[in-house]
Amino acid sequence: MTRAALVLAVAGIAVATISWSAPPPPSQKEGLAAFETVKAVLQNPRCQNCHIPGDAPLQFDAGLTHAQGVLRGSDGFGSAGLKCSTCHGAVNPPASYGARVPPGAPGWRLPPPEHRMVFIGLTSGEICRGLKDTTANGGKDLAALTKHVDSDALVLWGWSPGVGRDAVPVPHAEFVAKFKQWVAAGAPCPGQ
């Protein structure tokens, strides 16, 4: 008994025990619904332009092949002689530079070739299974994936892409909440 409870008991005041339990995890149905928001974000041009099946990144909302013959390279940071950082700085250029100038964020890159994490043209189930496949996602478990979508500077760039680009339309906090809801539901995949 705590000292406060003892004092109340001596004074003749009943002490109630309050029990609290965590709410139940989201259902599989709720997890699958949350994943549809996750999929919508991942298939937005801000994400899928770099999560590509080939080696040439895409650009603009239309998903055009990147100009200048840019390629992924062996590490995802561009090819020898034309690294991503040649044009993409650590931050977006000032608005005074105008639209369609190379945007920037820390560590501008594509996923490395062995962990492409392709989002283009895939179904919800295919994206879901790819996200959870540690051999395809760079060895990330669900906790690491959650941290990645919550705090990676390049991911966050999608919500502040600079002049002339539309931000991801789902607010970042909502996206992360839906991602966490999906994970809390057991990370169910559509079609399983």
- Each residue of 84-101: pLDDT tens digit? 999 999 999 999 999 989
Whether the Cβ atoms of residue 185 and residue 121 lie closer than 8 Å to each other: no
Q: Which ranges of the chain have pLDDT less than 70?
A: 1-18
d(CA 145, CA 187): 11
**Cα(2)–Cα(135) distance, rounded to whole angstroms?**
51
Report the pLDDT value the prediction gives residue 19, as an integer from 0 to 100: 72
Query: Residue 93's pLDDT is what?
Result: 97
Q: Is 81 left (phi over 0), alpha (psi -120 to 50) or beta?
A: left
Distances 111 to 32, 52, 154, 171, 184 between C-alpha atoms, Å: 26, 9, 11, 23, 26
pLDDT of the residue at 21: 81
The token duo for 60 is 């603009």
Q: Which residues pair with 185 in a beta bridge?
A: none
Contact predicate 101/123, CB 8 Å: no
